[in-house]
Amino acid sequence: MDETLTTPDFSRLPMTGWFPGHMLKAGRRMHELLRLVDLVVELLDARIPASSRNPAFRQSLLGKPHFLVLNKSDLADPEATRGWCQWFAAHGERVLAVATQNAGDMAQLQGAWQEAVAAERQLRGSTRALNRPVRIMIAGIPNVGKSTLVNRLAASRKAVVGPKPGVTRQTQWVPLQGGMELLDTPGVLWPRLRNKAHELKLGLIGSMADELAGPELLAEFLLYQLAQQSRPTRWDVYGLATAPASAADLLEAVGRRRGLILPGDKVDTFRSAIALMKDFRDLRLGRFTLEVPDDPGRHPQPQSQPAMETEESTRS
């Protein structure tokens, strides 16, 4: 941990308030489709498990069985991911951490889902065999990897994917071998985030477009987050022997290293910040988890609006 870096007060900054209308419509549609599914799988980003979890989602499931997946575990600190899995399991959650490129993870995931549905049916006293495919809803915030996971399980490009949030705008059913159907859903945030730091964490993992918070602010927040890590950061990719003293120094080093220079030999800080975000997301700086289970923010409190708003709830 770098204790030389001055702690910035991000709470003083205004929130963007970003909540596009298509997310409200998608939430309503997901609520309508709940009656068709046997299991709801909520994907979290293993780098920010608490901040990528919709605080009111669980309450909106109408009693449907629920399964947590810590996705992108190959981007996160392995020890922290194990800690999160243990924490969720201790709180009664079904949970697995996966990397979509790992075939073993994908096979384990399908088996765990089948077991969860079978256990739920047994709990309800069902004795007849299910004479249709097991139907599973895949839900989560934007850019958490839902469509990539669906494509990997389907072994084909069934769902549209992309590096920016909001690529999936419609729900779509994807059949799998072995008697299972997945419902891929659009990424849905919730209307009110906890604070600016929460918003910036979502920005760091790409769940909100860089331009919303601003790449330079994200760069400053990333530097602060990396300073809290026990794992070393690979600053050498920018020709630095130690952590930079400020975000300005960091962006200067990134710009010089990448040749992002404006007339007058000035570094283009905007493009340098975008390059820094890409390096973080592409693992060039290392594997990091930005929150741990004993963080005070690990219990996001439900807001006044439910996770998947219904038409009636928006009238009241």
pLDDT in tens, 238-286: 999 999 999 999 999 999 999 999 999 999 999 999 999 999 999 999 9
Q: Is residue 119 in a domain?
A: yes
Q: Are residues 53 and 181 in the same domain?
A: yes
- pTM here is 0.84
122 is written with which tokens?
């047994």
**Contact criterion met (CB below 8 Å) for 61 and 34:** yes
Q: Is residue 28 in a domain?
A: yes
pLDDT at 315 (0 to 100): 33
Q: Are residues 113 and 246 in the same domain?
A: no
> What pLDDT, in 10s, does the model give residues 116-133?
998 888 888 877 778 889
**Contact criterion met (CB below 8 Å) for 247 and 216:** yes
Statement: residue 38 has pLDDT above 70 = yes
pLDDT at 5 (0 to 100): 52
Q: Are residues 70 and 174 in the same domain?
A: yes
Q: Are residues 221 and 174 in the same domain?
A: no
**Contact criterion met (CB below 8 Å) for 210 and 201:** no
Domain holding 218, by residue range, is 214-281
pLDDT averaged over the chain?
Answer: 85
Q: Are residues 81 and 180 in the same domain?
A: yes
Q: Are residues 155 and 46 in the same domain?
A: yes
Mean pLDDT over 147-173 rounds to: 66
Q: Are residues 169 and 261 in the same domain?
A: no
> What pLDDT, in 10s, does the model give residues 199-230?
999 999 999 999 999 999 999 999 999 999 99
- Give percent of the chain above pLDDT 90: 60
Q: 156 pLDDT band (50/70/90 cuts)?
A: low
CA contacts within 13 A on the Cβ side of 16: 18
Q: Are residues 99 and 37 in the same domain?
A: yes
Q: Is residue 96 in a domain?
A: yes
Q: Are residues 89 and 132 in the same domain?
A: yes
Q: Are residues 51 and 106 in the same domain?
A: yes
pLDDT at 302 (0 to 100): 32
> What pLDDT, in 10s, does the model give residues 70-112?
999 999 999 999 999 999 999 999 999 999 999 999 999 999 9
- Give, for 33, the enclosing helix (H) or strand (E): helix 21-33
pLDDT at 179 (0 to 100): 86
**Contact criterion met (CB below 8 Å) for 279 and 261:** no
